[in-house]
Amino acid sequence: MSGLGVEADAFLRAFFSGMFLCGVYEVLRLFRRIIRHHSIVVSAEDFLYWLFCGFYLFGEIFQTSSGEIRWYFIAGTVAGAVAFFAVLSKTGKFCGKIFEKKTGKHGKRVD
């Protein structure tokens, strides 16, 4: 049973790694909405993001399973990303409804 516990721990680390990486990308997307970027800069940011993801996931895989890629690590990372976007989309819709009630459909303040 100790092997199963180690695999479950690796799955949870992968799950939270997927959530973390999606959170980082979401912050990058929000930054791009606040400050418009040229397409070359966006491409460079994406390249650096994916480079970071590669090194980060390599480090996580190396720590959890001595560098061996396991199916549950990949599944955990994907599940974490899906969970992050599921929660984020519901939260975004909820906040959008609150914003719409406060400001009206056209963004003007309604008292």
Q: Read off the pLDDT of residues 8-56 as tens digits, 9 standing for 90 and up.
A: 888 899 999 999 999 899 888 888 888 888 999 999 999 999 999 999 9
| Nearest by Cα to 69 from 80, 56, 60 | 60
Q: Read off the pLDDT of residues 57-83 as tens digits, 9 standing for 90 and up.
A: 999 888 887 767 778 888 999 999 999
The answer to whether the pTM exceeds 0.85 is no
Residue 24 to residue 15: CA distance in whole angstroms: 14
